[in-house]
Structure 1
């Protein structure tokens, strides 16, 4: 059953009870990475294997993940080519109360350092599951940005 989460601002990325931060350097330049994140919403299904459906909405996105999780998101910040951040407004994920994600991009040599911050609050079991899922989320992030880099190299 989908439910509305507590609305949070961009500052939640730094203050959330659960913060998982992952980073990786890729060869694509920041402006191309930013456009893939913020503008090519349907393209997420091509490089982030957990994403099975992605479409833009008036002020955000609708996302579906493998396993059945669904999200309605609102963009909090789209500052090209540095930051793309959004909060989850509605989800069917049990126990979630507030949730935001930030993709921070910075030049790294000829490429980009991509940092993804996953920030959330929820019931104790939800927070525990997220903490235990850190390694899996880290692998998913690494695989996704590696796939995105390959995709951008051939586009």
Structure 2
């Protein structure tokens, strides 16, 4: 019996750090892991991609006029200075977290988040964003992430003269 127990411990040791990391992810509070570089599919004058990652909800990213104003296919993309373990994504849709300003432009309804790891592999996750102002938090897991892209699939309030708007995007997780 002792030999079987010793063999079990021997084979379990290589996996112990992964189990401990999982326990830390589940019980600890993730820290902000802000990206360092930002891009977008396009940008409206005065609304660059960096406005969605600046820590303020009174500035926003908006793409250039896409004709019908649907926002479909428009994206925000960011890079992290070093690989991070992503655990949560926070999105503030619209032009502001203030209710009276929120409905003035189109907002993302469904987005696809693509997380790319340091080895080049990617994983996609589809998220449904509620049509309400303020913070919306999503569980989003990825290890060794160096790039994230948020692509709008559908929008709320789209139409001529109305641009897609995202006030803020924040990532939370762990640094190595």
TM more than 0.5? no
Q: Indicate the structure (1 or 2) with the bigger Cα radius of gyration.
A: 2
Which structure carries more helix by proportion? 1
The TM-score with structure 1 as length reference comes to: 0.31
